[in-house]
Structure 1
Amino acid sequence: MKSSAKIMYGLTIFLAAMAVIYIFATMHVDDKGSTPGLEWVGAVALVLSTGLTLMLGVYLHFTEVRVDVLPEDWEEAEVADKAGTLGFFSPSSIWPAAMAGAVGFLGFGIIYFHYWMIFVGAGILVFTVAKLNFQYGVPREKH
């Protein structure tokens, strides 16, 4: 975790430097003596990427303080030290496939800009996300 925070801080410094260089490079004076102005798309993308890596670095830094030493940060760690349960994955759940279909339907609605497809796709997506989250939390009927 400590190394991840350092990587994000390093990326933040790199992207901040590239943003400054990019902003000054796009505001140069051309051969005719006119200033074309700032190229906004690249400047905004670099500034937002800098903010994103800074947020990730701060998050990883704060979580590193609360967590014990991880095998990634231990010099003598072996592969078996990280082994363990990764989580519970439902083997027969239909809801991930249904969510993918809902995202596809919503995507087609956004692409073709049909309001009814957007509303129906968003509704189906909310429904399938709820069913995925609650599929093991809702008790079965007793009768």
Structure 2
Amino acid sequence: MKVESALFGVIGSFFAMMCLIYGFWSYWDEPVGTVGFALGAALCFMISFFCWWTGRKTDLRPDDNPEGEIDEIEGDYGFFSPYSWWPLYLGGAAALMFIGLAVGWWLVILAVPLVALASVGWVFEYFRGDDAI
């Protein structure tokens, strides 16, 4: 967690510095960019603080050890459906829905049932048929 804490601290410091530079160059008349940089800095500092606070309370992870080996952090990442078509359907339906946000709301209305159907199909894929759990 030390690396993550330092990384977000550096990014937060960059955003804070850019907030001051942007505010100075815009004569503090354009508040949107200044507020955006300030909020970005605050968010990075909050994440940095959380990583530092959590890292104090937990043991060192294998990837925090400079002499650690790659096989020390291997493990099970979960089960992924090898022959599932549902992610493709969901991606297409979501793409149609997001195109509808740019083109027209009528396309969003047509895409919402497709997104719902693909989501339900993917979630309940292993509850019916030959692959039922």
Query: How many Å apart are 1:66 and its aligned residue?
Result: 5.6
Higher helix share: 2
Choose which of 105, 120, 123 in structure 1 pairs with 2:113: 123
Q: What 5-or-longer segments of structure 1 have no aligned partner?
A: 29-36
Match of 2:76 in 1: 85
Q: Deviations over 1:8-50 (max 9, x none)?
A: 122112211211221122117xxxxxxxx2263x324323322
Question: What does residue range 1-143 of structure 1 map to in structure 2 within 5 Å?
Answer: 1-27=1-27, 37-38=29-30, 40=32, 42-65=33-56, 67-112=58-103, 114-136=104-126, 138=127
Structure 1 residues 56 and 129: alpha-carbon distance in aligned structure 2, compared to 1, 3 A threshold: farther
Higher mean Cα deviation, 127-136 or 96-105?
127-136
**SS across alignment from 1:119:** helix
CA distance, structure 1, for counterparts of residue 4 and residue 124 of structure 2: 33
Structure 1 residues 128 and 48: alpha-carbon distance in aligned structure 2, compared to 1, 3 A threshold: farther
Aligned residues: percent identity?
A: 26
CA distance, structure 2, for counterparts of residue 46 and residue 63 of structure 1: 26
CA distance, structure 2, for counterparts of residue 54 and residue 126 of structure 1: 37
Aligned length: 131
CA distance, structure 1, for counterparts of residue 17 and residue 107 of structure 2: 43
